[in-house]
């Protein structure tokens, strides 16, 4: 029985290898994902699959999920390097779990001649082909400007539900926002951590609602947080008088909440998969690609339920 | 006159306004065994806890080697040369012999490095004095039998340079055959000028080992006398405060014609060794109203026999067991209880009491289903049952709601008897019912056995105190390595015969 | 000769040092000690009252709502802890049930009815729990290990059912597209509402019901007595005819059942089933049980004590939230309060 399985397995592998060689020169694109468990990254994977499908005749995707384990992801990148050396891989996309542990191995892949796109999180050297990522400060700034435009001159009071004040992403989303409302008469009266969690956001918002009779808007560092705040306000019948702002704009979360009228606005933290695959194709055609692409955000609100791009991607060569 | 090692003058102790010890004068001389006698709750434990530094803030004075001392912790007492050999051993089961002996005071070559070789040598030396010259020092102590562990503990005390030993019922956990060995060691220590304070509930032991006896009763010191001047009868009288004409009530003739319990070809497989049996093809019967005594040394299988009959060994027990002529072998305790078989285990703490539960809850535990309908407990009926047992067994307590652990050993035991009597058993299996129980309560338990058999109950009795067996059992069977080696009627049994049969002769 | 001396008539002697003066004995009662911790927290709340917010009913109402899911889990945990065990799986079962509940009601092309969904959810929780009890009772697994396995398995199960993303009113199709289901199930709205003049959340009532059931089991039913006796001395209980395996399966099964109730409440309050829900809740629940004074060693404790523990933790969280205290400070304060509350408890015994 065991032998039979082995035989079948070998046959299948053989089929795959030879079947591939029979076709045109398809590029094999490796993707090393640090953790597919988060909704944003799950969505990133959906985006990736959709973009790859556009060029189904020219590229092929090999996706590996490290399940939030540094050593697993290191090992997976090592496997990709071996694949490349065996001629079974043409380009590698990496979304590393952390910066420091992946700087050497990504450098090694790059030195070996494998084109490497680093996605979302930067590493500590320039030993890669291209970096593509979003900018939390830009997103916070967009949210702040949106709020200022809407509320300036009315003496609006707001609540800020921070992701986690000790985390860079939350600090940037916060500082960008405060930059955006600078010069207006908008005030943040209650600023507190909600650990990116919906139940916690609801609890913190309940406290804010008990304390302050007038709240005009809530800026939450992610969409679930904004949704939790909405539920708290709804429970005391104050959801109509408050504008809820979220960040991330996943299609089935933030964007859906905006379409349902729960959130007033949400701001996209882009996955960048469209640009990533676009540049993979450029590379395949032998064109030059930039070193860094800082992605622009998109705002989704009542006027723009399908989103409107704010600014341009910042490209560095 | 020998050197005075310990001297207490006018010592008293009060807990939360309740005086538990008053005006005790006590001294221990070098080279003597000084027995502390008294019922449970008489203040013996309090007294040794004062000497060993567990209790602070007592009245009176404590002198060690003629120096006034007030220890603030047991460690200080330890450093002063006092060592307690505990009822519950204080060795660490998974550590080897050497590490246990030198735990906390390793022989150090440098402050950060201890010298194993020196420790091993020293351990050998100490153990040789205790007839343990060829013990494997590198085995974890848990692999040794209780007797050896006890001697390791004594070695540990010797390593501490202790000169005062306090032994609290040291023979309760070791087999009869090893007691003499322990006593030899004690005599040896005595001759080397050590002083030993000894607590026991076994009358025989007192006269085998004691030089002097101090009697405590209800926290008062009654008397100190040399053992030769205080005959057993006097001693008992002093302990209980009145004369007991005998330590045992006379066994009345209550045996009836009908057979209550019949055991045929009963065996229990040894779980550790295939093909061996803890109890090997045993057959006997017990009549209604009869007390059948089971004698045997540790490992004879008599305790396993009772547990097996009760169903505690599950399917490892084989054979036939008929209660009132109905074939029945309990596959588990719950079934056995329903069929009228109850077992009082020999280890109150490990398998008897539920310590934090109330006295009431402990009494009703085995018969809860009788006080409940559709799983709802009828608290009134439960309380009535508990009160009934409290009265008939004269359990001394403040309230039925108090946790059983706050009762003295004798009253805990009576509570457990109450638990089993509440199940209305036809056959009562008693495994060491008087272990760790004071003289007064012992008498009450014997009396109770008389009453129960008069009502037609059959009792199987195991006790390691031979006089107790001789006094209470109508018939005695002796086991040796799982086999019955002798059976004798009450009037033909003697200690010698029993010991002879128990040794397998 | 008079052999049967009535020894029972000897003057009764003090049984150790149990007899103590009135005030001391009052403070020796575990629930009084538990209350002391709660009162300290309430005093802190009155001092740091966030501009008087602490004196408004809404703060207390919201605290009760917020802490209800934890209270239900703490009830489950109390039963298990009294047997001398522990249930690390509670948080994961919450997630599994929340995901199942949301999937059945919202994410299927033809949703299930509310009644059958809830029944199914409760059954899943109970089965998970009974399985724990089976491993622990039959194969003598340590409760820590068996429930650690359940903690891992149930989390995986939640992710498997949900595909790793939150189950909400968006129905996904295999190609990655989705459509919205504009109406939320009535049952969810109901669970998330309040009664008694809009003053008490339904979930709080549910928590109190769970506690009542727990109390009945522990102090009115034979099973409760079995639970205490197993925690107090398992061997003694076995030899007294207590059905150990059945009692453990019942206890862990009941724990799983309560976790399912908590999972339903969690999903209803979030209007979605989050496979990451309940992460770390097991530790909060254990904390509440211990602060109440139920001993992790087993054999002691009660639902009443746990209620006090739940309120203590609930108020602590609420006060920190009202004052917008930073997360880092919250963690430190919570750790300190646990130590202080348990210190209150432990001075009970010498």
Residue range of the domain that includes A192:
136-268
C-alpha span between C203 and C51 (Å, rounded): 28
C-alpha span between B461 and C52 (Å, rounded): 72
> What are the backbone dihedrals phi and psi of residue B221, each rounded to the nearest 5 degrees, phi first?
-85, 125
Chain B residues in contact with C236 (beta carbon < 8 A): 345, 350-354, 365
DSSP class of C53: G
Domain boundaries of chain B, sorted by first residue: 4-240, 246-340+425-505, 354-423
Chain C residues in contact with B244 (beta carbon < 8 A): 5
Cβ-contact B73, B52 below 8 angstroms: no
Cβ-contact B281, B305 below 8 angstroms: no
Non-local CB neighbours of B467 within 8 Å, separated by 6+ positions: B203, B204, B247, B248, B495
Chain C residues in contact with B18 (beta carbon < 8 A): 14, 17, 19
Mean pLDDT of chain A: 86
Condensed to tens digits (0 to 9), the pLDDT of residues B216-250 reads: 887 888 889 888 888 887 887 787 775 555 678 88
Closest CA to A50 of C156, C84, C176, B51: C176
Chain B residues in contact with C13 (beta carbon < 8 A): 41, 218-219, 396
The answer to the question of residue A261 being in a domain is yes
Judged against a pLDDT cut of 80, whether residue A256 lies above it is answered with yes
C-alpha span between A187 and B295 (Å, rounded): 89
Per-residue tokens: C122: 């409760």
- Tell me if chain B has a CB within 8 Å of the CB of C165: no
Chain C residues in contact with B443 (beta carbon < 8 A): 5, 7
* Pair type for strands C178-180 and B376-377: unpaired
* Pair type for strands A292-294 and A314-316: antiparallel
> What are the backbone dihedrals phi and psi of residue B81, each rounded to the nearest 5 degrees, phi first?
105, 20
Give the fold, CATH level 3, of B4-240: Rossmann fold (3.40.50)
Buried b (16+ CB within 10 A) or exposed e, B81-101: bbbbbebebebeeeebbbbbb
Q: Residue A3: what pLDDT? A: 58
The answer to the question of residue A301 being in a domain is no
- Highest-pLDDT range among C44-53, C100-109, C313-322: C313-322
C-alpha span between A132 and B431 (Å, rounded): 79
The answer to the question of residue A154 being in a domain is yes
Mean pLDDT of chain C: 85
In Å, the largest CA–CA distance within chain A is 78
Give partners of C (≥3 CB pairs < 8 A): A, B
Q: Residue A22: what pLDDT? A: 45
Mutation choice for C interface testing from B14, B16, B416 by most C CBs within 10 A: B16
Identify the residue whose tokens are 């402990």. Answer: B362
The answer to the question of residue A312 being in a domain is no
Domain boundaries of chain C, sorted by first residue: 56-346
Cβ-contact B443, B244 below 8 angstroms: yes
Query: Could C7 and B440 be called an inter-chain contact, meaning their C-beta atoms sit closer than 8 Å?
Result: yes
The answer to the question of residue A302 being in a domain is no
CATH number at residue A41: 3.40.50.2300
The answer to the question of residue A28 being in a domain is yes
C-alpha span between C89 and C148 (Å, rounded): 6
Condensed to tens digits (0 to 9), the pLDDT of residues B402-430 reads: 889 888 888 899 999 999 999 999 999 99
Cβ-contact C113, C299 below 8 angstroms: no
Mean pLDDT of chain B: 85
Listed range (A311-315, B101-105, C314-318) with the worst mean pLDDT: B101-105
Query: Could C239 and B15 be called an inter-chain contact, meaning their C-beta atoms sit closer than 8 Å?
Result: no
- Highest-pLDDT range among B186-190, B271-275, C97-101, C329-333: C97-101
Mutation choice for C interface testing from A233, A246, A252, A271 by most C CBs within 10 A: A252
> Is residue A293 classed exposed, middle or buried when 0-12, 13-18 and 19+ CB atoms within 10 A define those classes?
buried
Which whole number is the average pLDDT over B480-495?
87
Per-residue tokens: B252: 């009345």
> What are the backbone dihedrals phi and psi of residue B379, each rounded to the nearest 5 degrees, phi first?
-65, -30
The answer to the question of residue A62 being in a domain is yes
Residue C12 banded pLDDT, cuts 50, 70, 90: very low
C-alpha span between B271 and B269 (Å, rounded): 6
C-alpha span between C151 and C163 (Å, rounded): 18
Judged against a pLDDT cut of 70, whether residue C32 lies above it is answered with yes
Identify the residue whose tokens are 């109203």. Answer: B289
Which whole number is the average pLDDT over C33-62?
88
Judged against a pLDDT cut of 60, whether residue C17 lies above it is answered with no
Buried b (16+ CB within 10 A) or exposed e, C161-173: bbebbbbbbbbbe
Total number of domains constituting chain A: 2
Highest CATH level, class, for C56-346: mainly alpha
Of A39, A203, A252, the CB nearest to C321: A203
The answer to the question of residue A214 being in a domain is yes
- Tell me if chain B has a CB within 8 Å of the CB of C314: no
C-alpha span between A106 and A117 (Å, rounded): 10
Judged against a pLDDT cut of 50, whether residue B479 lies above it is answered with yes
Q: Residue B342: what pLDDT? A: 93
Return contacts of C242-245, CB within 8 angstroms, 24+ apart: C242/B334, C242/B365, C243/B334, C244/C137, C245/C133, C245/C134, C245/C137, C245/C138
Of A164, A203, A211, the CB nearest to C327: A164
Query: Could C322 and A207 be called an inter-chain contact, meaning their C-beta atoms sit closer than 8 Å?
Result: yes
C-alpha span between C282 and C255 (Å, rounded): 12
Condensed to tens digits (0 to 9), the pLDDT of residues A127-169 reads: 899 999 888 899 999 999 999 888 877 888 999 999 888 888 8
Cβ-contact C262, C69 below 8 angstroms: yes
Cβ-contact B365, B354 below 8 angstroms: yes
Which whole number is the average pLDDT over A218-234?
93
Condensed to tens digits (0 to 9), the pLDDT of residues B345-380 reads: 988 888 999 988 999 999 999 998 888 888 899 999
Chain A residues in contact with C53 (beta carbon < 8 A): 207, 210-211
User: Which of residues 223 through 242 in chain C touch B, CB cutoff 8 A?
Assistant: 223, 225-226, 228-229, 232-233, 235-242
Residues B246-340+425-505, CATH architecture:
3-Layer(aba) Sandwich (3.40)
Query: Could B353 and C221 be called an inter-chain contact, meaning their C-beta atoms sit closer than 8 Å?
Result: no
């Amino acid at each position: 029985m065991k032998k039979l399985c082995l035989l079948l397995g070998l046959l299948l592998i053989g089929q795959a290898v030879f079947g591939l060689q029979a076709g045109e020169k398809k590029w094999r694109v490796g993707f090393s994902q640090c953790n597919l468990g988060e909704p944003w990254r799950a969505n990133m994977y959906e985006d990736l699959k959709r973009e790859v499908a556009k060029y189904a005749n020219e590229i092929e995707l090999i996706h590996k999920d490290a399940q939030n384990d540094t050593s697993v992801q290191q090992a997976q990148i090592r496997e990709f390097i071996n694949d490349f050396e065996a001629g079974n891989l043409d380009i590698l996309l990496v979304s590393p779990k952390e910066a420091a542990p992946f700087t050497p191995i990504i450098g090694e892949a790059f030195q070996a001649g494998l084109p490497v796109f680093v996605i979302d999180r930067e590493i500590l050297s320039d030993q890669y082909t291209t970096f593509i990522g979003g900018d939390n400060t830009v997103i916070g700034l967009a949210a702040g400007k949106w709020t200022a435009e809407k509320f300036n001159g009315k003496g609006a009071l707001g609540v800020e539900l921070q992701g986690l004040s000790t985390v860079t992403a939350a600090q940037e989303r916060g500082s960008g926002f405060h930059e955006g409302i600078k010069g207006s008469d908008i005030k943040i009266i209650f600023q507190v951590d909600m650990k990116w969690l919906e139940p916690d956001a609801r609890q913190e918002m309940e406290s804010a609602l008990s304390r302050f009779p007038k709240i005009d808007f809530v800026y939450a560092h992610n969409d679930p947080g904004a949704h939790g705040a909405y539920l708290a306000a709804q429970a005391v019948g104050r959801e109509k008088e408050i504008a809820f702002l979220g960040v991330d704009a996943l299609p089935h979360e933030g964007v859906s909440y905006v379409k349902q009228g729960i959130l007033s606005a949400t701001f996209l933290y882009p996955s960048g998969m469209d640009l990533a695959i676009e540049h993979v194709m450029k590379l395949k055609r032998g064109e030059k690609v930039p070193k860094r692409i800082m992605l622009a955000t998109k705002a989704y609100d009542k006027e723009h339920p399908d989103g409107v791009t704010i600014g341009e991607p910042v490209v560095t060569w | 006159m020998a050197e005075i090692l310990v001297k207490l003058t006018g010592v008293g102790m009060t807990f939360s306004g309740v005086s538990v010890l008053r005006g005790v004068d006590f001294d221990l001389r070098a080279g003597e065994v000084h027995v502390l006698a008294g019922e449970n709750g008489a203040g013996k434990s309090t007294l040794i806890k004062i000497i060993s530094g567990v209790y602070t803030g007592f009245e009176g004075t404590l002198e060690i080697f003629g120096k006034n001392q007030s220890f603030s912790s047991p460690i200080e007492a330890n450093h002063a040369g006092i060592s307690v050999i505990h009822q519950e051993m204080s060795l660490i089961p998974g550590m080897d012999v050497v590490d246990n002996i030198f735990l906390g005071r390793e022989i150090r070559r440098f402050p950060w490095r201890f010298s194993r070789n020196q420790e091993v040598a020293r351990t050998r030396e100490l153990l040789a004095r205790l007839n343990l010259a060829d013990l494997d020092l590198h085995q974890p102590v848990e692999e040794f039998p209780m007797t050896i562990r006890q001697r390791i503990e004594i070695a540990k005390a010797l390593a501490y340079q202790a000169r005062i030993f306090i032994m609290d019922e040291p023979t309760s956990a070791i087999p009869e055959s090893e007691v003499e060995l322990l006593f030899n060691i004690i005599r040896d220590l005595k001759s080397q000028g050590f002083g030993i304070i000894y607590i026991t509930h076994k009358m025989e032991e007192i006269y085998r080992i004691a030089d002097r006896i101090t009697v405590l009763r209800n926290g008062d010191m009654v008397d100190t006398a040399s053992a030769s001047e205080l005959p057993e009868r006097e001693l008992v009288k002093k302990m209980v405060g009145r004369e007991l004409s005998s330590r045992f009530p006379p066994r009345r003739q209550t045996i009836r014609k009908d057979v209550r319990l019949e055991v045929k070809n009963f065996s229990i497989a040894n779980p550790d060794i295939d093909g061996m049996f803890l109890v090997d093809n045993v057959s006997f019967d017990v009549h209604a109203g009869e007390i059948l005594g089971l004698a045997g040394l540790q490992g004879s299988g008599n305790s396993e026999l009772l547990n097996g009959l009760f169903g505690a060994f599950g399917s490892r027990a084989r054979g036939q067991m008929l209660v009132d002529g109905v074939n029945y072998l309990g596959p588990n305790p719950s079934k056995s209880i329903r069929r009228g078989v109850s077992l009082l285990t020999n280890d109150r703490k490990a398998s008897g009491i539920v310590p934090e539960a109330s006295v009431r809850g402990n009494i009703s535990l085995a018969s809860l289903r009788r006080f409940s309908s559709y799983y709802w407990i009828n608290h009134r009926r439960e309380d009535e049952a508990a009160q009934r047992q409290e009265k008939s067994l004269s359990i001394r307590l403040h309230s039925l709601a108090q946790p059983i652990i706050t009762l003295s050993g004798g009253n805990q035991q009576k509570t457990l008897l109450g638990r089993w009597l509440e199940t209305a058993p036809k056959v009562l299996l008693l495994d060491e019912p008087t272990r760790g129980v004071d003289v007064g309560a012992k008498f009450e338990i014997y009396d109770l056995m008389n009453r129960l058999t008069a009502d037609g109950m059959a009792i199987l009795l195991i006790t390691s105190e031979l006089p107790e067996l001789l006094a209470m059992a109508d018939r005695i069977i002796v086991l040796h390595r799982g086999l019955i080696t002798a059976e004798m009627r009450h009037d033909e049994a003697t200690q010698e015969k029993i010991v002879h049969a128990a040794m397998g002769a | 000769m008079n052999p049967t001396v009535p020894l029972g008539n000897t003057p009764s002697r003090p049984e150790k040092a149990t007899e103590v003066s009135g005030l001391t004995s009052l403070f020796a009662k575990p629930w009084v000690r538990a209350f002391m911790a709660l009162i300290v927290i309430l005093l802190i709340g009155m001092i740091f009252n966030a501009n008087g917010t602490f004196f408004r009913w809404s703060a207390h109402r919201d605290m009760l709502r917020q802490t209800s899911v934890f209270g239900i889990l703490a009830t489950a945990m109390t039963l298990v802890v009294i047997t001398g065990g522990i249930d690390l799986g509670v948080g994961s079962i919450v997630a599994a049930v929340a995901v199942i509940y949301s999937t059945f009601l919202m994410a299927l092309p033809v949703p299930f009815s509310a009644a059958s969904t809830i029944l199914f959810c409760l059954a899943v929780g109970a089965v998970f729990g009974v399985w724990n009890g089976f491993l622990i009772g039959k194969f003598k697994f340590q409760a820590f290990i068996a429930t650690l396995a359940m903690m891992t398995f149930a989390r995986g199960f939640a992710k498997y059912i949900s595909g790793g993303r939150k189950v909400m009113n968006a129905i996904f199709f295999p190609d990655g597209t989705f459509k919205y289901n504009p109406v939320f199930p009535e049952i969810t709205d109901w669970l998330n509402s309040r009664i008694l003049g809009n003053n008490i959340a339904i979930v709080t009532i549910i928590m109190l019901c769970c506690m009542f059931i727990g109390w009945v089991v522990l102090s009115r039913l034979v099973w409760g007595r079995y639970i205490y006796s197993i925690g107090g001395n398992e061997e003694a209980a076995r030899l007294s005819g207590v059905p150990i395996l059945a009692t453990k399966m019942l206890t862990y099964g009941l724990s799983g059942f309560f976790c399912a109730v908590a999972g339903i409440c969690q999903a209803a309050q979030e209007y979605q089933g989050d496979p990451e829900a309940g992460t770390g809740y097991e530790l909060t629940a254990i904390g509440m049980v211990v602060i109440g004074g139920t001993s992790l060693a087993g054999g002691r404790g009660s639902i009443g004590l746990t209620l006090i523990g739940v309120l203590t933790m609930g108020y602590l969280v609420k006060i920190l939230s009202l004052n917008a205290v930073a997360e880092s400070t919250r963690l430190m304060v919570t750790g300190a309060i646990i130590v202080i509350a348990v210190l209150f408890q432990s001075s009970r015994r010498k």
